[in-house]
Structure 1
Amino acid sequence: MTTDKDDYVLGELIGEGAYGAVFVCFDRKYEEKDELWRFMYDFRRLSNERFEIFQQMALSESQIPPDAQHYLVCGTEDCEKNCQFYCNDCHQPLCEQCRDEHQKNKKTKNHEVVPYTLRKHTKEHRGHWFTNLEIVFAEKVSIYNKEIANIRSYFEPTSQDLKKEIAGDVTEIKTIMEGIRISMKAKAESVKKLVDTVTSNKIEQVDKIEQSLLQTLNSQNQQIDDYINSLNDLVKTFYGYLSPSNIEQLTFALKSENLVIRPIPETSKPVPPVFTVGQYGKEDVAKLLGKITVPNTKPENRKIKPMETASTELNPTGKQRKQDREKSDVKQTLCLSSSVTEIREYTVPGVDNVFHISLGKSGRLWCSDVYGDLVQTDLQGNQLQNIQTSGGSQGYHTVTQDGDLIYTDRENEVINKITSDNTITEFIETGDWKPLSIHSSHINGDLLMGMRKYGEGKVTRYNKTGTEIQNIQRDNKGQPLYKLPNYITENINGDVCVSDYRKHAVVVVDKSGQRRFSYTGQGSGFNPFGICTDLLGHILVCDQISDTVHLLDQDGQFLSLLLTPQQGVEHPRSVCVDDENNLWRDNKGQGLYRLPHYITENINGDVCVSDYDNAVVVVDKSGQHRFSYTGQGSRFNPYGICTDVLGHILVCDTYSNTVHLLDQDGQFLSLLLTPQQGVKYPRSVCVDDENNLWVGQSITNKVTVYKYLQ
């Protein structure tokens, strides 16, 4: 308290607090009497100067005795007991005994005696408004309950998501750094090998130079030796002529050229090579191993999903609640049928095959093929729109709750939107991630997108406005969840179901991104394609290997093969369920033929086509399909085809390198020619007028003629 002691006078000692603190009421001079200043001080912590101020202020009041007191004394004369009560009418402090006597006295029995600490409580407050503490408390409780709900539903899960993302980044950084270390070591080994190779070559060069120089010197040495030997021979000859018996020949010998001393042979001193030491330092070696650089770019802030998104998910709209109730009513009346019944079939113009279906409004549907054709048709088969895209054999388009078409452009790494007025706009950019598959949520309109980069996949959730709100990439152990998320959908419980062709699995995570299960088929192989869910939470997925549609429950338990080739289903690649709970499925080829490489005609007018896409397709002369023959094993790649005078069909199979013999109705009769009979790579066949079979073989460039009819 930094004020002059004359500014205040002690009004009243209110009460004693804990640990030596007191409550003191002061009246400020020159102010209204009802304006009070209350202080709480711990006298043990007051400085001497401040304590003196309090002491002098206290002594200025006549009713306070000069001696300090350790407790409040009863106001009754000759009573020194502790004061616990107060009479508001008499303005007198009372102990417990005096209070009892005070209330028994006829004159004072109606006085208001209260605990000492409540003596100042009045029914009529001096100018202030009363506040209902229950209302205030309820408001505060509501506020803090809301904050707790926000923490539980948004801040804590979002923070956990960030932790998972950071853990994923830790794993990624470790992987990258380990890759750098491995690359450096590999480069170092390469440099070492290169040094060893160069050193070996240089030493070999030195050896050759040395050999050449030594050969020259040895030759010179031999030349000198020969010269010395000739000199010795000449000396011996001269000594022979000096004999008295040969004196007569001496005159003739001196004139002989053979006795002339030849000059000393000339020799050259070799010039040795000079080795110049290479000039290099630590920096030069470092350049050989490569350079580590940290990009001078500002780190990108992690994206945090907006608060309003979380609140929207927690509080569905009235329209959404109504739709949920309607679906719940329908769900209670639905159950699995004992069989699958075909209702209708549509021919889709403008596509070579149908790899994905998106159902729109008013019975319109969008279909796409592997070549990027995206076509809209009505139920009568009339083509309404045709868009050329960069899509392929993925579920790369979807129809939103508003009826807009959303499709991916993996080449330009963007997402396009087509509105009801057929305006195409760029909606979302995916950076360096290639978008593959997309699905518009029937729960809240979010967009779920499967993407791929550097051999790893991820699923990203966007809200209706295109704002990224969730990334699903790794499991709780930091392992990648996806490799090639070709098709994607959402189940009624919010699970995200992905058909991953490279993982050979259906990967399912919950709405928070936690892995629930993976389904890998029922046999030795499983290549999932199109995927969808129904109102009961079943998961339906196409299998490329077995050409079937698998039916799973919500927890990934296999229930049945819903559609099989025995039911006339050929190459199912995409499935979806409409609002009337009908299953729509597409065939890889809507036409009769996919790769019609060879063709012939039978004696009854049937047209027989060898379709390299695994079948011999036979139609009658009116063009009606009679049958398709797909071989005897798990695989059949037909090539050359012909017929004979008896109506047999003969076709080459490049997979087994055999010639199949069929009857006129497509029944297999036998393998007419096999590798065990010396046939290699049969590719073409024909029958001549004498009923001989001619077989052309690849690689060996041979044509062989066989007799097979008697």
Structure 2
Amino acid sequence: MDPRAQDVLLCDLCETDPLQYLCEHCDINLCTNCVSKHLSDSSKKHKIAPYHLHRKFTPKFSKCLKHADKDCELYCESCHIPVCSTCISSGKHKGHDISDILEKLGSKKQRIEKDLEELEKKIYPRYTEISSAVQTEKAEAQTNYGKLATTADQQGEVWHREVTDIVNKRKADIVETKTKHLSLLDKQADEITHRMTEINQAILEMKNILDTNDISLTSTYKSRNNEFNKLPPTIKVTLPSLSTPTINTEKLNEMFGLLTSLSVTTVKPLLAEPRLTAAIDTGYEYLHSVSCLSEDQVWTCGDNKTMKLLNLQSKLLTSIKTKSGNTPIDIAVTQDGYLVYTDSWNNTVNLIKNKKIQTVIRLQGWRPRNVCCTTGNDLLVTMTSDDLKQSKVVRYSGSTETQSIQFDDQGRPLYSSGGIKYLSENRNLDICVADWDASAVVVVNQSGKLRFRYTGHPSNTEQSFYPYGITTDSQSHILTADRYNHRIHILDQDGQFLRYIHCDLERPVGLCVDIKDNLFVAEWGTVKVKKIQYL
């Protein structure tokens, strides 16, 4: 029998169940079931609180392994073990940081209580939501696959005996696809259930530590909350469909319709709290832009003519000066890994390949501002007229202009007349522009038709919104730098606000994401590039 079971305190009312609560006014200990019974006495005032917040602390010191007659009343911070006074006086821990074991126990218990609260109130409920969503999706999948089967039956009745073999074949395809789909969902549900079980076990272990005051258990406690905070990715499945063409007996198999394949996309949830994972010192006086070459290498440009390639340890890997000696306005990295920069002073867009600079675009009457590279390896360039009265976005394939976006369907300008206009192409091929002077993110579709304008969080009426840098990720999120409010806005592909990223940012300007959706933020004044994990 576990000797700790002898220490279980029972409810003062039923005297059978372990106590969980305390009525502070009545000074009576209660189990969960007896709380409502006690509160039913309305003749008295009651205040119910968790018992563990009020119980008296009676320390149970562990015996020293070296000196059996001594209690371990101290803690060696250097060795991370409880020790007795004789151990200290023996000189074995000379020069080590020594603290009182009760102080150490107190800080450990505070961490456990914090972790426990986070697990119970934040992490576990989110797993519950995900689990519920998976079960709902499974039910919807069952319904939809049933509808597909019914459609196949109805077509089979119309086509009679000539199409019987095809009907059976299609139904078999449906069953096979359904099996794959449900197998994917079952696998995800099993993974979530397993993780929930682990969390429940961790909760029970922490509660046990808190209830027993066992110093040995407490001192060896290691938090797993960071592990549990990494929520499992969900999968997004595009359901197959069955087409119903007109009957043609000469082409029965082709015209009956084919079942589309199962399309599975991994959906990455947003982290509850974004994490800063690296900070790169760039060495500029002021920093303007950042563009990812890889997960650990970024190109930067600032207030001088030199563009720098840096790693996460702030080591300078390569530096290149502009062809004209002017300060570049913006930079971008092509799909092939080459650097592109805009030079507003001589109206050019330039490509750097093998450290050689080639002018690929030379403008007349217009000044290039910001630039991005598309998934199709085109260049999108924002530009303003020489008189600063017009702005537009132009697409280039190589040096050839293939598209110009300037007005909406009513002939009104889409963008403000001048100023900074960082831009990015979304995964759905929308073109997203952070229009500083208009205090708006302006999003048009691939053909240049206006989809929406985002002018800041609807509930925020006190702080001005001036979007600066902008980027998009694999989930088609739109991220834009709110420079003077020191934060990043995350929107979905339809312009709905999802959340802010703060991470102690200071005047964020340029943004980019790498292939793993890590966010890189260029800070104007600190001249640091911060790497942030938010998915």
**TM-score, with structure 1 as normaliser:** 0.35
Which structure has the higher relative contact order (CA within 8 Å, separation 6+)?
2
Bigger Rg, structure 1 or 2: 1
**TM-score, with structure 2 as normaliser:** 0.46
